[in-house]
Amino acid sequence: MSNIRLQKIIADAGTCSRRKAEDLIRDRKVRVNGEMAKIGQSADPEKDEIIVDKKKIFQEEKIYFLLNKPVGVVSTVSDEQGRESVVDLIKTDKRIVPVGRLDSSTAGLLILTNDGDLVNKLTHPKFEHEKEYQALAQIPHDWNEARLKDAIQKMKSGVKIADDFRTSPAKVNIISQKSNDRYLLSITIHEGRKHQVRQMIDAVGMSVVALKRVRTGSLVLGDLKEGEYRELSEREVSELKK
């Protein structure tokens, strides 16, 4: 194996984040083959002995989970307010992190892994796999069918949301009508702006009652109930890495 930046090796071993690894190197708590490590240093994890805070590190086996995140659970590793996080729901002794985020009031598909390269790839702005959501949206009481169709067409074409950002064209369809003023919509985007789907719905005059992500690229939520999770297959991981 070729040499790799030291902070990446430490993060991939599940010890801590890359940023924290840099702090450990800076604080002189990392040694490579008995020598004090330096910021910017590289090493070969298969040949070099790397000691972090007096403990030898080993490369972890990569694991990948698909979680149906429940409403009320935060998409972080830990929470200052003591709220339950997505990591708390996964039974593993490895240090995993969520790939991206779903806000607390949104449910659905979330990937968790200890594969730092995949996390960086999927959260990079250039990553444009489709993300499909199901939104239960409420329309104003005085709307008719024409107003609803006009709102959907606006979301399809692109709307302005926070920071004067105009969304790219989206796929928007009505799945079913749930009541006189509530509709279940399918909304597919390829961007990843914070609260984008909620803001798109708000921008056209509707409001969100409930929101769930059901697909990322070729990876679908399927029959998983809220709070349930499963490991990804090798084929699914390969698809995500393309």
Active site residues: 103
Please give the distance of CA 66 from its chain centroid, rounded to a whole number. 10
Tokens 């990446």, located at residue: 8
Nearest to 100 by CA among 187, 182, 15, 217: 217
Interior/surface letters 204-228, b for 16+ CB within 10 angstroms, e for the rest: bebebeebbbbbbbebebeeeeeee
Residue with tokens 């599940």: 14
Q: What is the spatial distance between Cα 47 and Cα 118, in angstroms, rounded to a whole number? A: 24
